[in-house]
A and B are shown apart, each in its own frame.
Chain A
Amino acid sequence: MKPASFEYVTARTVEEAVRALADSEGEGKCLAGGQSLVPLMNFRLARPPLLVDLGQVDELRQLRHDDDGSLVVGALVTHREVAGSPLIAERVPLLAEAAREVGHAAIRNRGTIGGSFAHADPVAELPCVGLTLDAEIVAAGPHRRRTIAAADFFQGPFTTALAADEVLVEIRFPASGAERSGWAFCELARRRGDLAVVGVAAQLERRGQRLSARIGLAGVAGRPVRAVAAEAGLSGATPDAASFRAAGEAVAASLAPPSDIHGSAALRRRVASVLTERALERAARRLEAA
């Protein structure tokens, strides 16, 4: 229950962090809030020979909106800050609602959005929201910075498109372009604050008379997934109880979730279906109120 020995460097800039990772020939790990990495190290499931502490890199704490209307959240912005930020509440309220479901208060005080994305736990809330809203991940490597679509970033359980010498800099949430929207994040956890068994992110968007839906699921596959069939079924539909029930049924029909000690495949399928319906109902109430 104590971590193995490692070298520790404090980076002051993103470039310094990238250089330290590159010098370690891919063996180094970035330390952000440490709420996932340090438990793994204490269990010795992870034994990185080098930790690059990002805590002093001010660039990574940015929270801003760009001229194109997208919201940019720096990698070191904590879950607490995401949950409480007026800017995020205004621009990407689905993200704020999901952040309130992450762990306990003490975890949200330290844990970061960049850490959550880079760790890529299949049940994590924020990656699910990132996928649902077509977020883009900006990564800095030794030669350049690149932008990765969330759909390409999450590759499998605890596996992302980040290279070993890349640092996750920020996450960009594009403006939806909708005139009005309603959102909801629902999850089932065995106890309050535990990792979720299944989570559902839903957003209904209205452009003119046209309705479209975004639905993302966590805990039903090795990475977050979009409920493509359910989204298509809601496109242009009337947002009512029948269409939401049909969306839940479409979700259940499309999934082949894993079984583990936290829940069987049948349970996950059923919960995903019920939570999809609930999330859509709540999103619709907000859409009406908007």
Chain B
Amino acid sequence: MSERVFRFRLNGTEVEGRAEPRRLLSDYLRDDLGLTGTHVGCEHGICGACTIHLNGRAVRSCLLFACQVDGAEVRTVEGLADARDPLSPLQEAFWEHHGLQCGFCTPGMLMTAAELLETNPDPTEGEIREAISGNLCRCTGYVFIVDAIRAAADKLGARGAERQ
């Protein structure tokens, strides 16, 4: 099968990609571009480890073919923090609240939580649990993950208040 050429923005940078149609976006990001922050767990849309943002929305990258992102804006966990900061406020909160144990689910949790906080800056615990219901943590460290997301909401809210 012939390769497809596609152009998209990846973490703010224009990329011209080339891949067979069957190439999953998750594999393309990890193996062709070396962006191994996106993790691959179940490869059928259950575990959420491969969650990325496509045009601002959290989606499973294992359920997308790389060539489908032609013309799209893609953000991976590598693009969460600003270039000048090593970690985003959300990532800092995960660090501070021990929101990870083995780290396998972490990139998917972060991308899911980032979308949540962008659309709902002040979520309740219930809303946080609902939002991450599609992300499996097999260390079962959900309590600290929920704490971290709530703390990130507080931190981002305080920053927003300072700016006003």
Chain A residues at the B interface, C-beta cutoff of 8 Å: 1-8, 10, 31, 34-35, 38-39, 42-43, 51, 53, 55, 80, 103-107, 109-110, 191-193
Contact = CB atoms under 8 A, between A and B. Distances in A.
A111 to B, nearest CB: 9
Given A42-B62, A191-B133, A193-B133, A51 B44 contact: no
Nearest to A38: B63
Interface residues of B, number: 32
B3 to A, nearest CB: 11
Given A105-B115, A106-B112, A51 B130 contact: no
Interface stretch (B53-61, B96-104, B140-148): B53-61
State the majority secondary structure of interface residues on B.
mixed
B45 A38 contact: yes
Interface of B: 1, 4, 20-22, 24, 27, 42-45, 48, 51, 54, 57-60, 62-65, 67-68, 70, 112, 115-116, 130-131, 133-134
A192 B130 contact: yes
Nearest to B44: A39
Contact of A110 (B22, B42, B60, B131): B60
A144 B68 CA distance: 29
B127 to A, nearest CB: 11
Contacts of B130: 192
A106 B1 CA distance: 30
Contact of B68 (A4, A53, A105, A107): A53
Nearest to A191: B133
Contacts of A193: 133-134
Contacts of A4: 22
Nearest to A41: B22
Contacts of A110: 54, 57, 59-60, 63-64
